[in-house]
Amino acid sequence: MAVSFNPPVRTLMGPGPSDVHPRILEALSRPTIGHLDPEFVAMMDEVKKLLQYAYQTDNELTIPVSAPGSAGMETCFVNLVEPGDKVIVCQNGVFGGRQKENVERAGGSAVMVMDDWGEAVDLAKLEQALEQNPDAKIVSFVHAETSTGAQSDANGIWELAHKHDCLVIADCVTSLAGTPVKVDEWGLDAVYSGTQKCLSCVPGLSPVTFSERAVEKIKNRQSKVQSWFLDLNLVMGYWGEGAKRSYHHTAPVNALYALHESLVMLRDEGLENAWNRHAQNHQALKAGLEAMGISFLVEKSARLPQLNSVMIPQGVDDASVRGRLLNEFNLEIGAGLGDLAGKVWRIGLMGHSSRPENVIFCLSALEAVMGEMNAPINKGVALTAAQAVYSA
């Protein structure tokens, strides 16, 4: 006989989802109303304005797609890539590969700019690709590569792309609200993110934003968008301004309550304060891990503060440590992907998970588990190193 599902209470410090703030969980439980109810429509307008703040943009087409971040990615590609379009895709991890898949499934041709996992996108390689492909129409890249914890130079990428008259698609799933994302200042044309990372919200929505240049291309396509559900020519009618909306789909009403609450909290904290909070907690975690003898995969200049890929000490079994952390401490950290499987852990400090008490808890639990395994780490020094950062 089936019974109600009651999940364990975990501390989520992997690559996502992150801990959901209690205020957001409470918002999720509020009474459901119709998705065309005037009160709900008014809230939708607020969500758009709050997302514009989060993205630092005045783009009118700034909305949450009613599906996870992967659908936000697909929204950008299926609307902007037409059959035969050449797209330069920068890949330095898993998610650049997914961008390539999206280009090809939309009928485009992907020209790859490849960099090693753990490194930022090489601007010189991108410039060479642009010069060799003057007919390219779009450049896509991952701002914050979740598979490695590497962050690329969005400002440098858009300058090169626009110099060659290309639109720019950026994956900001892990960066939005955790590190600076400045859509207008950086000239980004189509950006997608997710709610389950630094926004501290539940999974299932994907905030996207499109520049006027991108909207013009969408409205003047020569072929239909291959996805009916993600066709922004249709979705714009539902997410337009004012009370009159054309029915497109039944919006996830309660999930949008949760996103609204998370964006109100972000505005109240202030973007720069949120960025600084993630940076400080990263510095404390870094100090503790390095005191323990654990090193980072990504060089300091390209290191993402909210997603820390660290090298697993010699002789330590990856799955055993993660399993014990989960079972004994209710603490989740992430495994490595692809060639990094078994070589790195991905420790997230995103959104509500990015708190000093979580940093201390994670360091304590890691030291306890690895200490019992006689791993080659320095014991009794991690917490002192982390607390020194907070004291400073």
Q: What is the CATH number of the domain that holds 327?
A: 3.90.1150.10
Q: How confident is the model at residue 191 (pLDDT cuts 50, 70, 90)?
A: very high
CA nearest to 288, candidates 344, 215, 365 = 365
Q: What is the pLDDT of residue 242?
A: 53
Task: Tell me whether residue 4 is in a domain.
Answer: no
Instruction: Please report, rounded to a whole number, the percentage of residues in the chain having pLDDT higher than 90.
Output: 94
This prediction's pTM? 0.96
Residues 282 and 248 in one domain: no
Phi-psi region of 315 (alpha: psi -120 to 50; beta: other; left: phi over 0): left
Task: Residue 359: give the domain boundaries.
Answer: 270-391
Please give the pLDDT value at position 241. 61
Indicate whether 100 belongs to any domain: yes
> Is the Cβ–Cβ distance between 318 and 340 less than 8 Å?
no
pLDDT at 74 over 90: yes
Does residue 327 share a domain with residue 193?
no
* DSSP structural state of residue 21: P
Cα separation, 73 vs 99, whole angstroms: 8
- pLDDT at residue 236, as a whole number: 83
Structure confidence at residue 188 (pLDDT): 98
pLDDT at 239: 81
- Phi first, then psi, for residue 379 (nearest 5°) are -95, 150
Question: Nearest CA to 352 among 53, 49, 24?
Answer: 24
User: Where does residue 135 rank: exposed (0-12), middle (13-18), buried (19+ CB within 10 A)?
Assistant: exposed
| H helical segments located in the chain | 22-28, 38-55, 69-80, 94-105, 123-132, 154-163, 183-186, 212-219, 232-238, 253-269, 271-292, 318-329, 356-372, 382-391
Domains in the chain, number: 2
Claim to verify: residue 366 and residue 298 sit in the same structural domain: yes
270-295 residue pLDDT tens:
999 999 999 999 999 999 999 999 99
Band (pLDDT 50/70/90 cuts) for residue 119 is very high
Query: Is the same domain home to 309 and 163?
Result: no
Residues 81 and 132 both lie in one domain: yes
Identify the pLDDT of residue 243. 53
Do 151 and 299 belong together in one domain? no
Q: What percent of the chain has pLDDT over 70?
A: 99
How many CB atoms neighbour CB 236 within 10 A?
18
pLDDT at 1: 86
pLDDT at residue number 215: 96
Considering the domain architecture, whether residues 281 and 264 belong to the same structural domain is answered as: no
Q: Same domain, yes or no, for 248 and 311? A: no
